[in-house]
Structure 1
Amino acid sequence: MNIISLETLLSQIGNSRESSEWIPIDQERINQFADVTEDHQFIHVDEEAAKATPFGGTIAHGFLTLSLLSKMAADASYVIEGIKAGVNYGFNKVRFINPVRAGKRVRGHFELIAHKESKPGTHVMTYKIEVEIEGEDKPALIAEWVTMQMLA
């Protein structure tokens, strides 16, 4: 977590790209996500049937990869000094570009692209995010994620 002053945050807009740690996407994680979301489509959970697809095996749910942005953000996003609460505000854009095959690792690259003080002490930040798949040229997803931080 990068705890910084508001002044430093403003200087980072468009000038810095932070990366998260790698996160393994193994079959157990995929199966657990399938159970939680009740999405048991064979391409995610049936290793034998998935071998016959163009992917050659199971792939992670796109929403699994998207849900890991919170974990990635702990490594790669900015927190303003004095924060009392931080929340998701939404997404301007999400595109699933490349499937994440079971057994791969992913990490997020975060670039702060916008900041707005919506009211005194409430800061809305927009990040451009690319989730890299280890050893692959195309990212798993790209997104514009909007977060909100509220100060004292």
Structure 2
Amino acid sequence: MSMTFTTPEALLAAEGLELGVTDWMTIDQPRIDRFADATDDHQWIHVDPERAAEGPFGRCIAHGYLTLSLANRFLPHLIAIDNLAMGVNVGCDRVRFPAPVPVGSRIRGRGEILRVEPKGEAVQSTVRITIEIEGSDRPGCVVDTISRYTFANPTPEEPS
């Protein structure tokens, strides 16, 4: 369940707020294979279960960039902006891959609002998403995502 913000002031006041966690999702081989096809990255540690079983991880692992891309799936489950005219992804600061994500693993996103600042008529937030691997002490990815939100102007009330 996401934390919802309806005004720039509310979002600006949320710096340092823990957003909680998302539901778990399973990383299966078909998802890894589709990512390999989309990116032309067919390295055997990702797509060849027989060879990967004999490799350093004992089975196929998700691409690091697949794990990173799932931050975009988790973000709206952690933070929601109501009264929004427009929201855009600005980019990412630090990205790290502390642990491989083996096929069959369950992962989830944990969020924390690191920074919030006004940018003209918009508000820019930096949210750290830690992609946790069930049963692992180390996450599969830690990324600081940067988003910019322009809130809609309130609709003037009609005269009575």
Q: Could you tell me the TM-score, scaled by structure 1's length?
A: 0.92
1:89 aligns to what? 90
**CA distance, structure 1, for counterparts of residue 18 and residue 137 of structure 2:** 21
Give the residue type in structure 1 aligned to 2:108: R
- Quote the residue 2:46 is aligned against: 44
Which letter maps to 1:30? I
Shift of 1:52: 1.4
Q: Is the 1:18–1:77 contact (alpha carbons within 8 Å) kept by the matching residues of 2? A: no
**Matched ranges for 1:64-79 at <5 A:** 64-79=66-81
Distance 2:133 2:78 in 1: 16
2:127 counterpart residue number: 127
5+ residue gaps, structure 1, are none
What are the equivalent positions in structure 2 for 1:47-66 lying under 5 Å apart? 47-66=49-68
Q: Distance in 1 between matches of 2:133 and 2:32?
A: 15
> How many equivalent residue pairs?
150
Normalised by the size of structure 2, how large is the TM-score?
0.88
Larger gyration radius, structure 1 or structure 2: 2
Structure 2 gap segments, 5+ residues each: 153-160
State the AA in 2 paired with 1:96: F
- CA deviations 1:45-76 (Å, max 9, x no partner) are 00011111110010000111111111111211
Match of 2:155 in 1: none
Amino acid at match of 1:135: G
Contact 1:9 1:78 in 2 (8 A): no
Q: Percent same amino acid at aligned positions?
A: 39
In structure 1, C-alpha distance between the alignment counterparts of 2:93 and 2:46, rounded to whole Å = 27
Which residue of 2 is the match for residue 4 of structure 1?
A: 5
Structure-2 residue corresponding to 1:136: 136
Q: Secondary structure at the match of 1:40?
A: coil
Alpha-carbon RMSD across the aligned residues, in angstroms, is 1.3
Instruction: Give 1:15 shift.
Output: 2.9
1:29 aligns with 2:31: yes
CA distance in 2, matches of 1:106, 1:142: 12
